[in-house]
A and B are shown apart, each in its own frame.
Chain A
Amino acid sequence: MAEAADDEVQETEPADEESAEFVELFSGAALGSKETGAITTRSRTHLVVFAGAEGSGKTTLVTSIYERLSDGPFAGFKFAGSRSLLGFEEICHLNRLASGATQPDTQRTRLTPDTKYYHLSLRPAETPVERREVLLSAMSGELFRMARDSKEDTQRLTFLRRADTLVVLVDGQRLSTKASRTNAQADAADILESVLDTNMIGSNCRVEIAFSKLDCITEAGQAAIDFAERAQTKLEGRFRERVPGISFCCIAARPNTPLIPSDGGLAAAFSSWMTAASPRDDHQGARPTRLPATREFTKFGWRHELSRKLT
């Protein structure tokens, strides 16, 4: 131990003097690819990528995961840190009273040359063993539109090769109106098709198709619910052979009706996204590794309850 100083009180240099030197700190903003190295080189990191058309709810999903953790343990995990807290807070802003807004909203993910990542360090709530490092990435809808339309553009999405989980969103709001529902389904299918055709995801990548904004679907009534179920059947038929472990879920990340539980199915979905998938074998026609026990819409039990309330 060092020898003590004599004086009771010592003046420190004013912190704002021009001569003062500073230590630069990490930015706390959403991370670029290079900045993720500080995390991925230290620990095994689980990357979850949200893909979907513009406005399908990708960023809202990222904000909702963070907001649930801000309220307490979520999906069996406790918050243990983040290198992008300010980035999370920024994309949550339009859902905060402090924004001065009157309705919850989400800042759209802008098309940028570099993919943005949001970092969470988590520990299992019950058995606080090893921490899990997680990166969440919501790709701009524009980028995925380009990828859907062009094989060359899809091949530029090199970050997808690192994804442990790919969540393709079907926009529930568009699914709830006749004019847009078929395109909503097709957009999601085309995105996944492009990714598979260009071999952009690894064989260990979990693939899940998520019907977002379930509150919009249920509020639109039985016809919309039936269409969503048929959409799931079609998507399953189209991709099951290529992605034997493909799974489906329904989410209301930010339900705006008390008819849907406030959790909105996000905890179960996040828990699934954090689980490593079994390796896929596209060439040998492997059998499904995880078939849904029952149709997701029915599984949530909201359909029948809602139908009663609507009639």
Chain B
Amino acid sequence: MRGLLTNTFLTALVSGGLLAGVPLLFGSLGETISERAGILNIGLEGMMLMGAYAGFIGALYSDSPWVGLLAGIAAGAFTSLFMVVLCVRLGLDQIVIGIALTLLAEGITSVLHGAQFGVTYPRLGAVSLVTIPMLSRIPVLGHSLFSQPLVVYLGFAVVVLTHWTFRATNVGLNLRAAGEKPEALDAAGVSVTTTRSWAVLTTGALAGLGGGYISIVGAGIFVPFMTNGAGFISIVIAMLARGRPLWVIAGSLLFGMSLSVATALQLAGINIPTDAVHMLPFATVVLALVIFARQAYLPAALGVPYVRGAR
């Protein structure tokens, strides 16, 4: 156990945690927006997977990670369109549609990948890092924290932006009203349907970006089912963060670290079975739920389709 506090271990833990945590950050931020507006988006996993596939294809053919990430955003938003039409506009069951979207995304990405590449997995080039001059010199953690792809910094910026939007703008107020008391929003003359539609679209875009990050920045390849539950973990993070964007950062990094602890432990010379390690993030979630269940908070009108005049 002597190796646990060495630089290698801490660096691997922190940079690995960031690498695995950033897609969770995008995913759970998206889920936060949609949950606050009253839509429980169980299709997040599917949206992330579509983003991962489209992002990979985009980056592969354009040779640019940015085009890839944009393709991921587009694919995620496109997938969420189904949710907008079926759940927000028509009021269909959000859980059924969410499961359907996830199954469809898993099947379609696997089939498309198989039809195109068979069992080969082409690799993308590494993404260039942006190093922040002074801060990256901080011993131990400086380099792993402040030498990251640009999109990581963007991610944190988007969280702060969302926080500000919820706190200080009319848009944020409308979003929250759509989740807490949609009839009040309607009475104030703002369309609940439109507000929720934009929320779900934003969620899809962010989930797609998170998925794109997984395939383009994180792995550099696309493998079917590669999101491997990241979408579902994001949903839990969003629930535990109780709709507060800044807590989303903390949650994502924590879960990211529990995802990356395996590699870090191996670097420190401690071998534990990979299956045990893969259990860790999910076990953390369950443990967190058991401990903090009382405090998990969900908006009053979550999951309830809005029908004007219905009681």
Do chains A and B stick together as partners?
no
Enumerate chain B interface residues (CB-CB to A < 8 A). none
